[in-house]
Amino acid sequence: MTLLQLTSLRKNYGSVAALDGVALSVPAGSRTAIVGPSGCGKTTLLRLVAGFDEPDGGTISFDGQVLADGTFQMPAHKRGIGIVAQDGCLFPHLTVSQNIGFGMEAGRAVKEARAAELMDMVGLDRAMLSRKPDQLSGGQQQRVALARALARKPRLMLLDEPFSALDTGLRAATRKAVTEVLTAAGITTLLVTHDQGEALAFADQVAVMRAGRFAQVGSPRDVYSRPVDATTATFLGEAIVLPATIGEGRADSPLGLLDVDDVAYRGRAAIMLRPEQISVTREGRGGVGEGAVGTIAEITFCGPTCDVRITLPDASSFRLDIPSREAFSAGDEIRIGVSGAAHVFR
């Protein structure tokens, strides 16, 4: 069942089109991530869904009810949609406990008990309940903000880069904890981030956003291995894009004859490989010649991996991280093996 449905949503700031025809359908109980570079309109989209701004066109419907269209705009306080803003946005004049209880309609004792429960849920010490927000770290503030939004048991939760204030280690842990909390509560979630790894790890559905539009919407695996174009491909991770001539489910490329994921297509097109599909061995050691031969043009040692640039016989080149246990040096001849099918950009 679809909980949130956006159709051709538009929002302009003066002459800047922050959103330019966004369509999305979010199934109930799912986790959707919107990922895109800075300034592509992610926050704008969340603000429209939350009801803080009015769209210039298109509709937002939630649970079968229209929240906003060209003429009607339901005010934010009637929507019952929770939001955790980019910087937590706690009320500085209230304690943590009062912050969490802010949106609850209950007696004081009930509020306090519930606040304590929520603190456990988001993994914070109950002793912090009497503190003021400025006595918490950035990550703690964010978790309090989450607890505050959870307190109202919203059916949809909007998260605007909630982990961006955290360092890498804490980030993964917090993300996992938050995912668990939201899943346990059965809350549909819309997460906004500019970190593709986060989006892929978090979501059931990923929407890749670019300049106010969705370039692609799909499952994480789908958008990662079958991106619509080269820009999307490189945004979601390292990609090797090569020209090729395609026919009969195979591509004739600088890396030799490769399987492709599109059996119907014939003709010239660009193909994409992810680095993990590629393996390199020293030429002349493996004996039997499978795959193309290339030369290491540059190599930089980076600890567990080496960053190498490989040139192919047709003088094209690409970059790749390879495990550093094999001691290559510049000028070495290598044989390049490819596993799995290459993706065709039609």
Ligand X SMILES: Nc1ncnc2c1ncn2[C@@H]1O[C@H](COP(=O)(O)OP(=O)(O)OP(=O)(O)O)[C@@H](O)[C@H]1O
The SS3 assignment for 146 reads: helix
Task: Give the shortest CB-185-to-ligand X separation in angstroms.
Answer: 26
Task: Give the shortest CB-146-to-Mg ion separation in angstroms.
Answer: 17
- Going residue by residue from 162 to 181, which x/- string records binding to another protein, judged by CB under 8 A? ---x----------------
Q: Number of helices (H) and strands (E), helices first, in the chain?
A: 8, 20
164 binds Mg ion (CB under 5 A): no
* Element housing 111 (H / E): helix 108-121
Give the range of 97-105, 242-250, 272-280, 321-329 binding another protein by CB under 8 A.
97-105
Helix, strand, coil percentages, rounded to 5, for the chain: 25, 40, 35
Task: Give the shortest CB-200-to-ligand X separation in angstroms.
Answer: 17
Say which entry of Mg ion, ligand X, another protein, none residue 81 contacts (CB below 5 to 8 A, set by partner kind): another protein
Work out the burial of residue 23: count CB atoms within 10 Å of its CB; fewer than 13 is exposed, 13-18 middle, 19 or more buried: middle
3 binds another protein (CB under 8 A): no
Strands, E assignment, the chain? 2-13, 16-27, 31-35, 57-62, 65-68, 81-84, 156-160, 188-193, 205-210, 213-218, 240-247, 250-253, 256-259, 267-273, 278-282, 292-301, 305-311, 317-323, 333-338, 343-345
Residue 3: Cβ within 10 Å count? 19
Radius of gyration of the chain (CA): 25
Tokens of 269: 């097109």
Task: Give the shortest CB-100-to-another protein separation in angstroms.
Answer: 10
Give the range of 32-40, 99-107, 223-231, 295-303 binding another protein by CB under 8 A.
99-107
Which residue number, 6 or 83, has a Cβ lying nearer to another protein? 83
Say which entry of another protein, Mg ion, ligand X, none residue 345 contacts (CB below 5 to 8 A, set by partner kind): none
Find residue 5's DSSP bridge partners.
25, 61
Task: Give the shortest CB-29-to-ligand X separation in angstroms.
Answer: 25
Classify each residue of 218-229 as buried b or exposed e, where b means 16 or more C-beta atoms within 10 Å of its C-beta: eebeebbbbbeb
Say which entry of ligand X, Mg ion, another protein, none residue 51 contacts (CB below 5 to 8 A, set by partner kind): another protein
Find residue 193's DSSP bridge partners.
35
Task: Give the shortest CB-198-to-another protein separation in angstroms.
Answer: 19
* Binding-site ranges for ligand X (CB under 6 A): 13, 16, 18, 36, 38-44, 194
**Upper half-sphere CA count for residue 65 (Cβ side, 13 Å):** 8
Say which entry of Mg ion, another protein, ligand X, none residue 39 contacts (CB below 5 to 8 A, set by partner kind): ligand X
Which residue number, 93 or 285, has a Cβ lying nearer to another protein? 93
Task: Give the shortest CB-86-to-Mg ion separation in angstroms.
Answer: 6
Say which entry of Mg ion, another protein, ligand X, none residue 89 contacts (CB below 5 to 8 A, set by partner kind): another protein
Give the range of 30-38, 146-154, 179-187, 234-242 binding another protein by CB under 8 A.
146-154
| Contact pick of 2, 5, 43, 219 for Mg ion (by CB under 5 A) | 43
Task: Give the shortest CB-306-to-ligand X separation in angstroms.
Answer: 32
Q: Which residues bind another protein (CB under 8 A)?
A: 47, 50-52, 75-83, 85-94, 102-103, 105, 132-134, 141, 148-149, 152, 165
